[in-house]
Amino acid sequence: MQNKNEIKFDLVKPLPHELFDKDALKVYHRLKRNRFTTYFVGGCIRDLLLGNPPKDFDIVTSARPKQIRKLFHNSRIIGRRFRLVNVFFGKKVIEVTTFRKTPWENGEPENQKKLLIQNDNFFGSDEEDAMRRDFTINALFYCPDERVVVDYTGGLEDLQYGKVRTIGDSKIRLAEDPVRIIRAIKFAACLGFEMTPDLYKAVIQCSHFLERTPPARILLEMLKVLRTRKVYFCFDSLLKSGVLEVISPDLGNILHQSRTEPYRLLHRYFRALDALADSDRSELKDETLFTIICWSIFIHKNQKGRKMSFEIFENALEDTKNKLSLSKRLRQSIFNIIILQNIFDRKIKKKIPANSIPDMEAAIQVLKIRMLMGDVSEKSYHHWLAKSQRFS
């Protein structure tokens, strides 16, 4: 491991500033001009160092949320558990956070049962902020002015050797925020990295902590998994580690039964998502991403030959909707999309219901995915794509 005192590193190949978001750079420079210590942080630096295009450009600073809000009139303070500032440029959002520190005085509480962080609004220094982050590869700061990476945790070395490593004791870090379990699996699968042995062991041992995590946060993380380029590998790892059974016992059951129709449906779906172009993937709606998943659960639980109704659909999803906090609006949209798929397949001979029209765009997205799955012909997809224009 590198010397902890050596925290600033000149890069052999400097990060190309033309790849940085121009509005994010404006935010960075304004904070710096007002004498606040400021860095780019996290995924954008990790991805740029790996030669991958970043999805977002997040900024961390010594400025407090109200000070940031005062500097940017096009901004809003959000969050309770973790207060941050969103700076808006049209539809684009630049996320700005204040340096945090762990709520525990000596790195962890006296009572180990109280590890779950309920309030993450204890402000600190840049080093304290780096040390409270989840994984070393996400704790890298970048200073565009000096063109140096600030590394307090050994993240550069782990990037070089392809390791996903927690900062500190793996069990404690996962207990503090169990969503890190899903994130660890996602990063390993998406980056082609390996979890360190202690982290993988902790993922298996701590998976039950996800039961005490707000379902809405798990849903948000699963949507991120479904928007990666490695959906198949992510779900394979979630299954093998036993995490999927905690998140959704229904999905765990399906993916353990390899000779069934729902299993084959999900496997084709995961492969199709991985085959999507990035531009198409970024446009996918939440209801689009969960339709095939809910459809497979419905098939798994529903008796053959029973006519599909919203009541039967709701009964089939009883456990999953609670585990993943699927709202009634989302469930209704998914149901409408499945009905539309049956109309597209001519399994139901009826006109498009008026209450399904708002879900037409998502239904066409699902139809395109089904075309990639080999379940629908290209001709049928283009026929319904053209027909759907009437409803837009």
Across the range 273-300, mean pLDDT stands at 94
Dist. CA 88–CA 161, nearest whole Å = 37
Higher pLDDT, 355 or 95: 95
pLDDT at 111 over 70: no
The tokens for 142 are 């970048």
Those residues whose C-beta lies under 8 Å from the C-beta of residue 318, and which sit 6 or more positions away, are none
Catalytic residue among 21, 23, 56, 280: 56
Beta strands in the chain (DSSP E): 8-10, 38-41, 58-61, 75-78, 84-89, 92-98, 141-143, 148-150, 163-164, 194-195
- Band (pLDDT 50/70/90 cuts) for residue 303 is low
Residue of 58, 120, 151, 286 marked active site: 58
- Residue pair 134/180 in contact (Cβ under 8 Å)? The answer is yes
Identify the band that residue 308 occupies on the pLDDT scale cut at 50, 70 and 90.
Answer: confident
Integer Cα distance of 293 and 321 in angstroms: 12
40 against 83, higher pLDDT: 40
Residue 119 has pLDDT above 60, yes or no: no
- 151 alpha carbon, distance to own chain's centre: 24
Which is the catalytic residue, given 120, 126, 129, 134?
134
Task: Give 110's pLDDT tier (boundaries 50, 70, 90).
Answer: very low
Position 8 scores a pLDDT of 82
Residue 126 annotated to the active site: no
Range with lowest mean pLDDT among 8-12, 89-93, 311-315: 8-12
Catalytic site includes residue 319: no
Whether the pLDDT of residue 109 is over 70: the answer is: no
CA torsion angle for 38, 43, 44, 45 (degrees, to 10)? 70
CB atoms closer than 10 angstroms to residue 210: 20
Confidence of residue 160 (pLDDT cuts 50, 70, 90): very high
Percent of the chain with pLDDT over 90: 79
Residue whose entry in the numeric block shows the structure tokens 């009964």: 315
Classify domain 168-247 by CATH number: 1.10.110.30
Asked whether residue 4 carries a pLDDT value surpassing 80, the answer given is no
- Examine the pLDDT at 117 and tell me if it is beyond 60: no
Which among 58, 137, 45, 134 is positioned nearest to 98, based on CA atoms? 58
Say what the pLDDT of residue 13 is. 78
Q: Which residues, 6 or more positions from 82, have their beta carbon under 8 angstroms from its beta carbon?
A: 97, 120, 121
The mean pLDDT value of the chain amounts to 91
Rounded CA separation 120/138 (Å) = 17
Q: What's the pLDDT score for residue 211?
A: 94
pLDDT at 176 exceeding the cut of 70:
yes
So where are the chain's domains?
1-161, 168-247, 254-390
344 touches 384 (CB < 8 A): yes
What percentage of the chain carries pLDDT values higher than 70? 91
Strands 8-10 and 58-61: unpaired
359 is catalytic: no
- Residues 140/149, Cβ–Cβ less than 8 Å: yes
160 in Cβ contact with 137 (< 8 Å): no
pLDDT surpassing 60 at residue 114: no
Given the structure tokens 């009883």, which residue do they identify?
318
Higher pLDDT, 136 or 108: 136
pLDDT at 322 over 50: yes
Q: Which residue has the higher pLDDT, 338 or 391?
A: 338
Would you say residue 108 has pLDDT above 80?
A: no
pTM: 0.88
Question: Cα(371)–Cα(71) distance, rounded to whole angstroms?
Answer: 49
Above 60 in pLDDT, residue 112?
Answer: no
Classified as helix, coil or strand, 214 is coil
CATH of 1-161, one of 3.30.460.10, 3.40.50.620, 1.10.10.10, 2.40.128.20: 3.30.460.10
Q: Is the per-residue pLDDT at 56 higher than 80?
A: yes
Per-residue confidence band for 215, with pLDDT thresholds at 50, 70 and 90: very high
Confidence label for 122 from pLDDT (cuts 50, 70 and 90): confident
